[in-house]
Structure 1
Amino acid sequence: MKLYSLMTTAVLIASTSAYYVKNQKSETFSLNVTPVDAGTQEECKTCITFAGQTINDLLQFVLQEEVDVCGDLCQIVVDKTGKEALGVICTILCDVVGIKEFINAIQKADLDPIYFCELVPACPINDNGDAHFTSLEVMPKKGPQGEFDISFEYVSNNGTGTGMLAISVDTVDGIPLGDDFLNFAQPAGTYDGTIKLDAKENPDCDPTQGPCETWEPGTYTIHLSVCNGECGSNHPHSAIYDTKTTTFEITQN
């Protein structure tokens, strides 16, 4: 199955067989990943890419209209997005489970792409999984505005379910910053990677569209979570495995 990737500006450098993919746009974190393995991971990524771009439109449609043919429902995807490729993926997923189960998955998922793709099912479930951070470090620990590398390692004894790696930063001026990445189900093992944080003011930020982080001198706290399912979700097959925090300091330029 061909992959249709989300556009992203976030970069996670992972020196592991784990694979992370961006779920939402970020101007602060950038992403580079290892190749996708064949089989289940490819199908899961394709489904979540599809759901991330279309599930809101599909939910609004099925709540307002009756539809009993996959082709009719998936044509809505093409009409809304202008992307024939997403319509093809929609039809494949819908035909596999049938129109009734497909609509049921859209409604039950409640805008949660991971849970939707577990219901279809395109992504594997592991409710006995676990993960525990063994390290979280920032380099440099102290320095002027610029690029900081946030390296991490976690260990899983029972493997992980399809989930997320979520990062947030407590800033000096109180502006919330965060990002999240898809973490494919993995067997037991040790996994590590590095998130690059671009800690400098974005000249393209428009303050009329929202607050602009200026990266004032001071201490910043990083929170990193590894989760089963979407971090913070109340849906089945969702849990926060572990969260770890660390700090770094921005000095005067």
Structure 2
Amino acid sequence: MKRSFLLLAVVALLSQAFALPFDDSRKHSFITQLAPVPDRNSLGVDLCPTCIQFTDQAIDILLNIILNSGVVGTCGEICNAVATKTGSKALGEVCVLLCDIVGIDEFVKLLQQADLDPIYFCELLKTCPINDNGDAKITTFTVTPSSGPQGQFRIDFGYTSANGTGTGEIVLEVQTVDGIPVESGFIHELANPGNYSSSFSLKAEPDPSCDPTQEPCEQWIPGDYGVKIAICNGECGSKHPHSAIYDEGMTNFTITG
């Protein structure tokens, strides 16, 4: 499935139902404000989130270039095409950096093998480390206030890992009263065993910039809202190797008016 990754943050997709495991029926929604997991050790994988961000933005373009041209000459040529089509010189430069790691032939092969999964592609490229023996158990998951008017709600969660975690993502889903999908999350890099925590700030009020003729606009009407969180190895819901849901948790909050 296609995700829209930010550097250290993910704007992901939402399934309106809370069926397990995550399914492929998700749709883009708005961005919530995220706070990254604090005190995570730096394990020398700085290129990993950059690779994931680039791949998410450029993989469709790259595959179209490959499909339409048939024969791709050099890393410079294909990456110049990316820069031209996106209007981003920076994307072109990152493309060259990643492509030069393996060479153009292997770069193209891995793009096709990844099947629109940015995390898996970056693992194949060896810019993101793999830990298939990882684990995570959610220990806390709360919303504050548990009941209140439209506005800011703080979502806190913590988890513990006995064996560390692989490169993956943490995804937050909100089941809204009117059924409009809302989801957000962030990339988590390889982590050592230990205890971790994070906070999300959910702006539960209508977005004045949302155009209902272009996309559904969540109104945050009074009622009960379910919240689900998942921490995953690889992309949540991916069927590729090095992908699994470590753990999931659920909680709720109420908008009173």
Q: Same fold (TM over 0.5)?
A: yes
Structure 1 residue 40 and structure 2 residue 44: aligned? yes
Name whichever of 150-159 and 59-68 sits farther off: 59-68
| CA 1:49–1:215: 2 relative to 1, 3 Å | same
Q: Structure 1: how far apart are the matches of 2:111 and 2:101?
A: 14
Alignment partner, residue 14 of structure 1:
none
Task: Work out the CA distance in 1 between the residues paired with 2:122 and 2:5.
Answer: 19
Contact 1:22/1:31 (<8 A) preserved: no
1:116 matched to 2:158? The reply is no
Give identity over the alignment, percent.
49
Partner Cα distance (1:32, 1:147) in 2: 14
In the TM superposition, residue 53 of structure 1 has moved relative to its aligned partner by 1.3
Distance 1:235 1:187 in 2: 23
User: Following TM superposition, by how much is the alpha carbon of 1:72 offset from its aligned partner in structure 2, in angstroms?
Assistant: 1.2
Query: If the length of structure 2 is used for normalisation, what is the TM-score?
Result: 0.86
Residue 193, structure 1, aligned to residue 198, structure 2: yes
- Which residue of 2 is the match for residue 62 of structure 1? 66
Structure 2 match to 1:135 = 140
1:216–1:250: 8 Å Cα contact kept in structure 2?
yes
Q: Give the secondary-structure state (helix, strand or coil) at the position aligned to 2:129.
A: coil
- Conserved 8 A contact 2:29-2:181: no
C-alpha contact 1:40 1:123 (8 A) present in aligned 2: no
Q: 1:20 to 1:75 in 2, by over 3 A?
A: closer
Equivalent residues of 1:127, 1:237 under 8 A apart: yes
Q: Deviations over 1:31-88 (max 9, x none)?
A: 3446997673311111112112111100111123211311111111111112222212
* Structure 1 gaps, min length 5: 1-5, 9-18
Partner of 1:3: none
Q: Secondary structure at the match of 2:206?
A: coil
Deviation string, structure 1 residues 130-161 (Cα, Å, up to 9, x no partner): 11100100000111111000000001111111
- CA separation of 1:202 and 1:23: change in aligned 2, threshold 3 A: closer
**How many angstroms apart in 2 are the aligned matches of 1:28 and 1:116?**
24
1:28–1:96 CA distance, 2 compared to 1 (3 A): closer
- Residue aligned with 2:45, SS: helix
Structure 1 residue aligned with 2:53, among 39, 49, 55? 49
**What is the CA–CA distance in structure 1 between the aligned matches of 2:40 and 2:87, rounded to whole Å?**
26
Q: Does 2:19 align with 1:31? A: no
SS of the residue corresponding to residue 40 of structure 1 reads: coil
Asked whether the equivalents of residues 206 and 220 of structure 2 are also in contact (C-alpha less than 8 Å), the reply is: yes
Contact map agreement 1:131 1:159 (CA 8 A) in 2: yes
More displaced stretch, 220-229 vs 198-207: 198-207
**RMSD of equivalent CA atoms:** 2.2
Unaligned runs of 5+ in 2: 13-27
| 8 Å Cα contact 2:166/2:191 also seen in 1 | yes
Tell me the amino acid that sits aligned with residue 22 of structure 1. Answer: V
Distance across 1 between alignment mates of 2:5 and 2:175: 26
**1:85 paired residue number:** 90
Match among 82, 94, 104 for residue 99 of structure 1 = 104
Shift of 1:126: 0.7
1:227 matched to 2:215: no
Partners of 1:20 and 1:142 lie apart in 2 by 30
Preserved contact between residue 75 and residue 104 of structure 2 (Cα < 8 Å): yes
